[in-house]
A and B are shown apart, each in its own frame.
Chain A
């Protein structure tokens, strides 16, 4: 029993909960998703198929998921956190053995109507689990090694499974997302300093292991790193994605080349233009104005999440909201840095914009959790 159940008195019930939605956090994702529809329509050469229409249907489904999630009291979700975490681990193991292979990696389970990526699910369940973990844990014990190690295990378990797929990008996001929640929960900053130091050492180890028997990454991943460090070494090979995406982005200029006028995306120079590289299509056709607008929308979502979180007296809700915000931030940050040539090419979609069902549904579910926390927040007895 925690603070939450005892202090909720004037929590809205029934359908009246709809009135207590944080509407900015409903409208902003819709706006972002609409930008996505527009771009998917454009790069398909002005056609709803093959991407825009399925994406719209999925987003509609996502909105439904968000509303349903939001209506369910937040304490239910808190109690379900462990179960959800366990379920996502099972899915990750399942995909390890029975998953479908795409792009040289085992990543998804075919559900018929969509392809479920357990690694995407894990992003939210991890945040959920950590938030619940730190809610139960006395804040004064948070920095004790045993509890830190426990939290770390919670993070590393799914991270390891995702890395096995291998999906380096998502693994790093899980790690960073989990770390963000730990940081928010008040774990002593020295731990983070140590982890960052270890991370640097790990990066060195990864690069050193190249070419040896115990090579940690696949060859194509090394090539991507090389290409990131110097795209010009192989402009038609591994560096191709980066060079072409930078060309598309840069050629957009201030106001872009106009809707459906982007030559890079329309003529297929952009790789994965409908998924990971969709931002370049936006930047090419709508220029800095378009790109910065999307960035602003994302920033607003972050700001609202932080504002909501700061209002929470409830630790679980605050950590959950901030964790979701951090995960969301990592998504678009890594994706944009990647297409701008600031980060290596790792398979990270642009949240709510990239074509793809799992990430979108999971994010909408996460926003549903944020809404639920907001609706069911403890209110002063006055």
Chain B
């Protein structure tokens, strides 16, 4: 069947017409594509190129080397240690678990650690190294390296980690570093990008925290080219960061070591301050803990043990601990009265062992009374009644004023954590906090450093330093930052009559060196090192009727945490004072029996620049002191040749 030619011509024309329509549509579409392409590649090319660069280029931060912390003689207190660790890369390892099991035969690696690594590995992309074990010994690293063929994907690495060679001695002062927490980030207005580096550590406590800004340094950066999954292809450029500045403290590590060792076994604190510039030579708090545990990440049981310890090792008692200063406060009351002109040194007050004020009886610590005492003997024998008497003449305001001038109730600006301000109670304060009016009994309690008065061992040391020098000594702890000596100007005078100060000093001298002085047992016989001090025994809880009924008569019979605090403050040498020292022993009992001997040992060590000679001690005590010194020697960190310049 042959179709007519016309028919085929027609159909061909129809197809042709439709083909042209379709071709036209296609031409329009191709044109649209071309236009779109032109628009993107010519008009918007710059914008897209920028986006491509952003895709490609990644900034990686290079963590800066943290500044080290040294003592006044350059001894390392916080340093950076090379730390060997092993990392695993999933894509190189193949069967990660099998590799880890093999590795567990070479280095300590328990099931929990393996589980943790497996979790981490799964969470990250296959080329991201995950730390398997940290702080490996050289032997362990060598073992891993020797068995490399059996451990595919495992690479030994070297990094820096923080180390505290003086361990317990400087835990409270220097503090420690730890992983950056959410809270750390929140506290900063503009968080340093370096904080986002995994594993970066930030100062958590003490100098490490307070001087974080100088210790940290600034991060360097690498511009790297990455592919779509973030793998580093190559480094494009590198800007080195600035390492953190080194910080020199004024503290003498040897004295600090001695002070802490001497305090060990008690819950106590001691501060030694240099009178010339206010340099803090030692700030010890016992018991202490090893900050290295924290820098490495402390285990829960270890941390719980520190929390549960009744002696509160985590608390820095030297600057955070606030205590009723007890009799060590009497210099303040006496000086206030002298300056007010309400009392003359020769005036005698009769102490019958108590004083009745507005229907209440206030006892002197000496039940039988001191008899007739003047200012100097009231200080040296620590008669309470004398101060009950004079405080009523001057009132709490003038006592507070003098306390403030001597540095009490003031938060000193030293780079330690939670520095407490203590308390100089005022009428307004009591009204506000207690809702009760100030009573004369409150003034009487305050006059002997009881009641509401609170001070830190640091403040007591500063107070003593100001009494010894007559200058407004300010404590400081930083000697140099980044090698630049910090300005520590000589303190201005206190504007207190030198004659009045001399009388106070005489009272302190007689406390320690007069036969009837409360600290006579802790005197120093070497004229070069003679001390002048003041004991204090501050009541935490008075003996309750219930205790009395149970037969408790003396403080020592009570449970530890209800006993009195023992305090002692002193300056030395007596004639040309160089240092002031304070010691507080929590619930230690009596200031003269417990605190004063400790303060003497520490002061002598500071003055002598090492274990003090036995000749400094009174002859009858030398045998006992020798035994003690031998025991102490074992507890000290062995020193190289002593570098500390004397004075």
Interface residues of A (CB under 8 A from B): 1-3, 6, 139, 180, 183-186, 244, 246-254, 263-264, 267-270, 283-284, 287-288, 291-292, 295, 298-299, 302-303, 306, 309-310, 312-313, 315, 318-319, 322, 325-326, 329, 333, 336-337, 340, 342
A186 proximity list for chain B (CB < 8 A): 11, 14-15, 18
Q: How far, in Å, is B23 (CB) from chain A's closest CB?
A: 5
Give Cα distance in the complex from A254 to B37, angstroms.
10
Q: Is B550 at the interface (CB under 8 A from chain A)?
A: no
Give Cα distance in the complex from A264 to B53, angstroms.
9
Q: How far, in Å, is A1 (CB) from chain B's closest CB?
A: 6
Would A287 and B41 count as touching, CB distance under 8 A? Answer: yes
Pick from B23, B49, B228: contact of A253, CB below 8 A.
B49
A139 proximity list for chain B (CB < 8 A): 7, 10-11, 14
- Extra contacts besides A185-B18, A250-B47, A295-B34 (15): CB < 8 Å: A184-B18, A244-B228, A247-B55, A249-B48, A250-B45, A251-B51, A254-B42, A267-B55, A268-B227, A288-B42, A295-B37, A306-B20, A315-B8, A318-B15, A333-B33
Would B22 and A326 count as touching, CB distance under 8 A? Answer: yes
Given contacts A186-B15, A312-B12, A315-B12, contact A269 B55 (CB under 8 A): yes
A313 proximity list for chain B (CB < 8 A): 8-9, 12
Most chain B beta-carbon contacts within 10 A, residue among A254, A263, A283, A302: A263
B48 proximity list for chain A (CB < 8 A): 246-247, 249-251
The count of chain B contact residues (Cβ–Cβ below 8 Å) is 46
Pick from B12, B23, B53, B225: contact of A302, CB below 8 A.
B23
Would B15 and A250 count as touching, CB distance under 8 A? Answer: no
Residues of A contacting B: mostly? helix
Most chain A beta-carbon contacts within 10 A, residue among B2, B7, B37, B49: B37
Would A291 and B37 count as touching, CB distance under 8 A? Answer: yes
Question: Could you give 17 example pairs across A and B, Cβ below 8 Å?
Answer: A139-B7, A244-B228, A252-B45, A253-B42, A264-B56, A267-B225, A267-B228, A268-B229, A269-B56, A269-B227, A288-B37, A295-B34, A299-B27, A309-B15, A319-B15, A322-B22, A325-B26
Would B56 and A263 count as touching, CB distance under 8 A? Answer: yes
Given contacts A252-B45, A268-B228, A292-B37, contact A329 B29 (CB under 8 A): yes
Would A329 and B26 count as touching, CB distance under 8 A? Answer: yes
Give Cα distance in the complex from A286 to B365, angstroms.
98
Q: Is B40 at the interface (CB under 8 A from chain A)?
A: yes
Q: Is B300 at the interface (CB under 8 A from chain A)?
A: no
Given contacts A6-B2, A291-B37, contact A251 B52 (CB under 8 A): yes
Most chain A beta-carbon contacts within 10 A, residue among B19, B22, B49: B19
Would B55 and A264 count as touching, CB distance under 8 A? Answer: yes
Q: How far, in Å, is A237 (CB) from chain B's closest CB?
A: 14
Give Cα distance in the complex from A333 to B1, angstroms.
41
Would A254 and B41 count as touching, CB distance under 8 A? Answer: yes
Q: Is B646 at the interface (CB under 8 A from chain A)?
A: no
A325 proximity list for chain B (CB < 8 A): 26
Q: How far, in Å, is B148 (CB) from chain A's closest CB?
A: 29
Q: How far, in Å, is A370 (CB) from chain B's closest CB?
A: 14
Given contacts A310-B16, A333-B29, A336-B33, contact A283 B22 (CB under 8 A): no
By Cβ-Cβ distance, the 4 closest A-B pairs, closest first, are: A250-B48, A251-B52, A253-B45, A267-B227
Q: Is B516 at the interface (CB under 8 A from chain A)?
A: no
Number of A-B contacts (CB under 8 A): 150
B3 proximity list for chain A (CB < 8 A): 2-3
Would B41 and A253 count as touching, CB distance under 8 A? Answer: yes
Q: How far, in Å, is B54 (CB) from chain A's closest CB?
A: 9
Given contacts A254-B41, A269-B228, contact A247 B11 (CB under 8 A): no
Would B229 and A184 count as touching, CB distance under 8 A? Answer: no
Would A318 and B22 count as touching, CB distance under 8 A? Answer: no
B53 proximity list for chain A (CB < 8 A): 263
List the A residue with the shortest CB-CB distance to B54: A247
Give Cα distance in the complex from A313 to B22, angstroms.
18
Q: How far, in Å, is B126 (CB) from chain A's closest CB?
A: 14
Give Cα distance in the complex from A252 to B37, angstroms.
10
Q: Is B233 at the interface (CB under 8 A from chain A)?
A: yes
Q: Is B30 at the interface (CB under 8 A from chain A)?
A: yes
Give Cα distance in the complex from A333 to B52, angstroms.
25
List the B residue with the shortest CB-CB distance to A290: B41
List the A residue with the shortest CB-CB distance to B50: A251
Would B8 and A3 count as touching, CB distance under 8 A? Answer: yes
Give Cα distance in the complex from A170 to B22, angstroms.
20
Would B37 and A340 count as touching, CB distance under 8 A? Answer: yes
A267 proximity list for chain B (CB < 8 A): 55-56, 225-228, 233
B55 proximity list for chain A (CB < 8 A): 244, 247, 263-264, 267, 269
Give Cα distance in the complex from A75 to B55, angstroms.
55
A333 proximity list for chain B (CB < 8 A): 26, 29-30, 33
Q: Is B38 at the interface (CB under 8 A from chain A)?
A: yes
Q: Is B36 at the interface (CB under 8 A from chain A)?
A: yes
B225 proximity list for chain A (CB < 8 A): 263, 267
Give Cα distance in the complex from A267 to B53, angstroms.
11
B10 proximity list for chain A (CB < 8 A): 139
Given contacts A263-B55, A267-B225, A315-B12, contact A250 B33 (CB under 8 A): no
Would A299 and B8 count as touching, CB distance under 8 A? Answer: no
Q: Is B182 at the interface (CB under 8 A from chain A)?
A: no
Q: How far, in Å, is A310 (CB) from chain B's closest CB?
A: 5
Give Cα distance in the complex from A227 to B225, angstroms.
27
Q: How far, in Å, is A299 (CB) from chain B's closest CB?
A: 5
Q: How far, in Å, is A324 (CB) from chain B's closest CB?
A: 12
Q: Is B44 at the interface (CB under 8 A from chain A)?
A: yes
Would B41 and A322 count as touching, CB distance under 8 A? Answer: no
Q: How far, in Å, is B45 (CB) from chain A's closest CB?
A: 4
Give Cα distance in the complex from A340 to B56, angstroms.
21
